[in-house]
Structure 1
Amino acid sequence: MHLSPSDPPSRVLHLTQPVDGGVARVVTDLVRAQLAEGLRVSVACPDGPLAPALRALGADVRHWAATRSPGPGLASEVRRLRRVVDDVRPQLVHAHSAKAGLAGRLAVRGRVPTVFQPHAWSFEAVGGALGALALGWERAGARWASRVVCVSAAERATGERSGVRARWSVIPNGVDTGRFRPTDAAAVRAGIPLLAEAGADAPLVVCVGRLCRQKGQDVLLAAWETVRRGVPGARLVLVGDGPDGERLRALAPEGVLFAGGVADTVPWCQAADVVVLPSRWEGMALAPLEAMACGRPVVLTDVDGARESLPPGQEPVPAEDPAALAGAITGLLLDPPLRESLGRQGRHHVLTTHDVRHMTGAVAGVYRELLGGADDGCVEATECRESIQT
Structure 2
Amino acid sequence: MRPLRIAVLVKTNTGGMWLLPQVDELRHRGHEVTVVLPPGSGRLRDELERQGVEVLASPYDFTVNRSTPLGLLRLRSLLRQLRPDVVQYHLIASAYAARLATLGLPVRRVHMVASPAYLESRWVQWVERMMWRLDHVVVCGCRYASVRYGELGCPPKRRPVAVYGVDTDTFSPDATGPDQRAKLRAELGVDQAAFLAVMVSHVYPPMRLVRSGRGVKGHDVLLAAWRTFRRRHPDAHLLLVGGGWTAAGESYRRQLGEHFGVPDDPGVTWVESVPDVRPCYAAADVSVSPSLCDGTGAAVEAGSMSVPSIVTGVGGLPEAVTERSGWVVPPADTAALVDALEAAYRDRAAGTLTLRGQLARRHVLMSFDDLRTAAEVADIVEDVATDRR
> For 1:264 and 1:76, how far apart are their aligned partners in 2?
40
Deviates more, 1:138-147 or 1:183-192: 183-192
- How many correspondences in the alignment? 360
Q: 2:190 aligns with which of 179, 199, 210?
A: 199
Match of 1:318 in 2: 330
2:238/2:268 contact within 8 Å kept: yes
Match of 2:353 in 1: 339
Instruction: Using structure 2 for the length normalisation, give the TM-score.
Output: 0.85
* Structure 1 pair 78–56 and aligned structure 2 pair: CA distance change class (3 A): same
In structure 2, runs of 5+ residues without a counterpart are 205-214
Deviates more, 1:331-340 or 1:216-225: 331-340
For 2:187, the aligned partner's letter is A
Q: 2:11 aligns with which of 13, 17, 23?
A: 17
> For 1:110 and 1:153, how far apart are their aligned partners in 2?
31
Shift of 1:251: 2.8
Shift of 1:124: 3.7
> For 1:136 and 1:305, how far apart are their aligned partners in 2?
22
Instruction: Using structure 1 for the length normalisation, give the TM-score.
Output: 0.85
Match of 1:143 in 2: 133
Instruction: Please state if 1:62 is matched with 2:76.
Output: no
In structure 1, runs of 5+ residues without a counterpart are 376-390
1:119/1:282 contact within 8 Å kept: no
Shift of 1:77: 3.5
Tell me, what secondary structure is at the counterpart of 1:316? strand
> For 2:327 and 2:67, how far apart are their aligned partners in 1?
43
1:295/1:346 contact within 8 Å kept: yes
Q: Deviations over 1:246-288 (max 9, x none)?
A: 2222233422212113343222222211111111112332x11
> For 1:137 and 1:187, how far apart are their aligned partners in 2?
51
Match of 1:388 in 2: none
Structure 2 counterparts to residues 194-273 of structure 1, below 5 A: 196-201=187-192, 202-212=194-204, 213-242=215-244, 243=249, 244-252=252-260, 253=262, 254=265, 255-273=267-285
Match of 2:21 in 1: 29
Kindly, what percent of the aligned residue pairs are identical?
29
Match of 2:47 in 1: 53
Match of 1:169 in 2: 160
* Structure 1 pair 187–73 and aligned structure 2 pair: CA distance change class (3 A): farther
* Structure 1 pair 351–108 and aligned structure 2 pair: CA distance change class (3 A): same
Q: CA RMSD in A?
A: 2.3
Shift of 1:165: 6.0
Deviates more, 1:57-66 or 1:338-347: 57-66
* Structure 1 pair 263–95 and aligned structure 2 pair: CA distance change class (3 A): farther
For 2:311, the aligned partner's letter is L
Tell me, what secondary structure is at the counterpart of 1:276? strand
Shift of 1:108: 1.1
1:110/1:145 contact within 8 Å kept: no
* Structure 1 pair 228–80 and aligned structure 2 pair: CA distance change class (3 A): farther
Q: Deviations over 1:272-307 (max 9, x none)?
A: 11111111112332x111100100010000002122
Tell me, what secondary structure is at the counterpart of 2:258? helix
Instruction: Please state if 1:160 is matched with 2:150.
Output: yes
Shift of 1:358: 1.7
> For 1:138 and 1:175, how far apart are their aligned partners in 2?
28
Tell me, what secondary structure is at the counterpart of 1:299? strand
Tell me, what secondary structure is at the counterpart of 1:262? coil
* Structure 1 pair 123–294 and aligned structure 2 pair: CA distance change class (3 A): closer
Match of 2:388 in 1: 374
Q: Deviations over 1:94-142 (max 9, x none)?
A: 110111011111111263111011223354454xxxx41x223212211
2:62/2:97 contact within 8 Å kept: no
> For 1:51 and 1:317, how far apart are their aligned partners in 2?
37
2:182/2:283 contact within 8 Å kept: no
> For 2:164 and 2:10, how far apart are their aligned partners in 1?
17
Match of 2:211 in 1: none
Tell me, what secondary structure is at the counterpart of 1:350? helix
> For 2:49 and 2:90, how far apart are their aligned partners in 1?
18
Shift of 1:318: 0.4
Tell me, what secondary structure is at the counterpart of 1:176? coil
> For 1:186 and 1:41, how far apart are their aligned partners in 2?
39
Q: Deviations over 1:361-382 (max 9, x none)?
A: 111110121122212xxxxxxx
Instruction: Please state if 1:296 is matched with 2:317.
Output: no
> For 2:279 and 2:188, how far apart are their aligned partners in 1?
16
* Structure 1 pair 123–196 and aligned structure 2 pair: CA distance change class (3 A): closer
> For 1:331 and 1:70, how far apart are their aligned partners in 2?
46
Shift of 1:176: 0.7
Match of 2:367 in 1: 353
> For 2:288 and 2:63, how far apart are their aligned partners in 1?
27
1:219/1:320 contact within 8 Å kept: yes
For 2:280, the aligned partner's letter is W
Q: 1:188 aligns with which of 180, 196, 214?
A: 180
> For 1:171 and 1:145, how far apart are their aligned partners in 2?
16
